[in-house]
């Protein structure tokens, strides 16, 4: 049983929907295009046509300031296209596509992709919980310069 404010798996899936608007820098997903693995430089969980488009937008050694839409279909609409993109292997980040490829979360993604009514309240619930997580102050934590790494 989860306490009221603990984020569940469904909350994490719902929050990821934030990637249906806005844009991302090429460096955040370049590994999926050029260096995924020795036998498969392009991530096999990426739709090949989408991968080609991403490579055109983000060639190797691209200007680090270049950013592209996270939702290739409806980048300015807060809709459930994000989940439809995952089903068709057009999730931009590994953390996106894994929500569909992993059996533990796949059913929720398919539900959110097919039934907009089921997910409409899920983001609200999850982002409210996130707002109550609490900010760490003083020695309890640190404000990161780069949100992906501890400050050095
Ligand atoms: C469970 C929820 C979420 C997960 C797992 C997640 C994961 C990620 C990951 C892995 C990246 C790639 C960049 C990196 O590795 O740091 C990313 C980028 C991004 N996310 Fe999320 N995210 C989540 C929720 C959100 C929310 C709630 C928002 C906005 C309200 C958001 C906005 C963004 C933006 C704007 C970027 C692009 C950053 C850049 O390229 O500079 N994400 N996210």
Looking at ligand 1, which atom is closest to the CA of residue 11?
1
Give the other-Cβ count within 10 Å of 9's Cβ.
11
Structure tokens at 95: 């953390």
Looking at ligand 1, which atom is closest to the CA of residue 94?
10
Q: Domain for residue 5, yes or no?
A: no
Give the other-Cβ count within 10 Å of 97's Cβ.
21
| CA-nearest residue, atom 14 of ligand 1 | 28
Q: Is 144 helix (H, G, I), strand (E, B) or coil?
A: coil
Q: How many domains does the chain fold into?
A: 1
Quick check: 50 and 72 in contact, CB under 8 A?
yes
pLDDT attached to residue 55: 98
pLDDT attached to residue 4: 67
Q: Domain for residue 135, yes or no?
A: no
Q: Domain for residue 9, yes or no?
A: no
Domain residues for the domain of 53 are 16-117
Q: Domain for residue 103, yes or no?
A: yes
Q: Domain for residue 93, yes or no?
A: yes
CATH number at residue 85: 1.10.420.10
Q: Domain for residue 136, yes or no?
A: no
| CA-nearest residue, atom 16 of ligand 1 | 148
Our answer on whether the CB atom of 20 is closer than 6 Å to any ligand 1 atom is: no
Q: Domain for residue 143, yes or no?
A: no
Q: Domain for residue 63, yes or no?
A: yes
**Which stretches of the chain score pLDDT less than 70?**
1-4
Our answer on whether the CB atom of 18 is closer than 6 Å to any ligand 1 atom is: yes
Q: pLDDT, tens digit, for every residue of 118-143?
A: 777 899 999 999 999 887 888 888 88
| CA-nearest residue, atom 33 of ligand 1 | 19
């Amino acid at each position: 049983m989860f306490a009221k404010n603990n984020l569940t798996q469904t909350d994490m899936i719902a929050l990821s929907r934030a990637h249906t608007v806005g844009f991302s820098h090429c460096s955040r997903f370049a590994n999926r295009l050029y260096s995924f693995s020795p036998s498969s430089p392009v991530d096999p969980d990426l739709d090949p046509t989408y991968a080609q488009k991403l490579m055109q937008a983000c060639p190797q050694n691209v200007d680090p300031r270049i950013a592209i839409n996270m939702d290739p279909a409806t980048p300015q609409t807060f809709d459930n296209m994000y989940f439809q993109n995952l089903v068709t292997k057009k999730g931009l980040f590994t953390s996106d596509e894994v929500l569909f490829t992993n059996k533990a979360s796949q059913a929720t993604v398919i539900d959110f992709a097919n039934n907009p009514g089921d997910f409409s309240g899920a983001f609200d619930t999850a982002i409210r919980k996130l707002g109550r997580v609490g900010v760490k102050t003083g020695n309890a934590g640190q404000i990161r310069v780069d949100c992906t790494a501890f400050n050095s």
